[in-house]
Amino acid sequence: MCLFLFSSLANSLENADVVGEGQIRYLKNRPDPGAYTYESKVTISKASLESGLVEIQTCHKQLDPIRKVVILFNKDRIKDIQVRSHDGIAMAEVRDNRVTLSEVQKGGSICIDLQSRALDSLGNGMYQLNAGPLMRRLFDGYLPMSANMKFSWPNQLLAVEETKPHSQDGVRIQQSQDGLEMDLVFAGRMTAQILLKRTQ
């Protein structure tokens, strides 16, 4: 869904907290509480099952202080990017499939709404919902971050068959008849997939 690029070092972290390219580590406890977090709410409608388009509301909070940050979205899936609000950021510019932030202050935040063709039909009433990749990048490595992702659909329209990642330290999953919530703490490049089955 999005790519978040950082190039500033969080001084409170140790080298052991930084994960290299191609690795991902789920963390029971966050080594830098109060630092960058990502939140999203994904809404699936009955129309989404035909079009693959879902509505997404995202917020990036507790941003690192940096002169320039680029939030890059998958150009093949994304449409209608709109900045809903921002704080502690001199300018937020939307161009094509990216949002460029200028002069970000420590603890700044931005909320972005968009549509994404994130729901893939697999046939026989099965669907895969894709989220990510999410990351907090430091040069050629990745710093720890947390993410709260909520997914909702009409009551009993869909049932969850499988999630990747699955429940483990650093991954908490709550399911209901009209949605799913994932709370994650990790370092690395994280992509989530949710396998869904239509029940109506």
Nearest to 128 by CA among 116, 138, 137, 118: 118
Task: Average the pLDDT over 18-22 and give the result.
Answer: 71
- Asked if residue 50 has pLDDT above 90, the reply is yes
Q: What's the confidence (pLDDT) of residue 44?
A: 98
3-state secondary structure of 16: helix
pLDDT digits (tens, 9 = 90+) for 101-160: 999 999 999 999 999 999 999 999 999 999 988 988 777 788 899 999 999 999 999 999
Q: Please report which confidence band the pLDDT of residue 14 belongs to, taking 50, 70 and 90 as the band edges.
A: low
**pLDDT bucket at 13, cuts 50 / 70 / 90:** low
Under DSSP, the state recorded for 48 is H
State residue 17's pLDDT score: 66
Q: What is the C-alpha separation between 183 and 3, in angstroms, rounded?
A: 18
Identify which has the larger pLDDT, 180 or 11: 180
Mean pLDDT comparison of 25-29, 67-71, 136-140, 149-153, highest-scoring range: 149-153
Q: Which one, of 2, 34, 24, 3, lies nearest residue 141 by Cα? A: 24
CA 187 to each of CA 8, 86, 142, 163: distance values in angstroms, whole numbers, following the listed order? 15, 25, 6, 19
As given in the structure block, the two tokens for residue 145 are: 């971050």
pLDDT digits 0-9 by tens, 75-106: 888 889 999 999 999 999 999 999 999 999 99
Q: What is the pLDDT of residue 5?
A: 46
- Work out whether strand 179-188 and strand 98-116 pair parallel, antiparallel, or are unpaired: unpaired
149 vs 67: which has the higher pLDDT:
149
Rounded to an integer, what distance in angstroms lies between the CA atom of residue 137 and that of residue 118?
23
* Cα separation, 74 vs 97, whole angstroms: 7
- CB under 8 Å to 74, separation ≥6 — which residues? 1, 2, 97, 116
Pick the CATH number of 2-7+23-198 from 3.90.950.20, 2.60.40.1730, 1.10.760.10, 2.40.30.170: 2.60.40.1730
> Are the C-beta atoms of 170 and 9 separated by less than 8 Å?
no
Residue ranges of the domains in the chain?
2-7+23-198
Query: Could you say which DSSP state residue 157 is in?
Result: S
- pTM for this prediction: 0.89
Bigger pLDDT: 73 vs 129: 129
C-beta of residue 88 within 8 angstroms of C-beta of residue 107: yes
**pLDDT band for position 43 (50/70/90)?**
very high
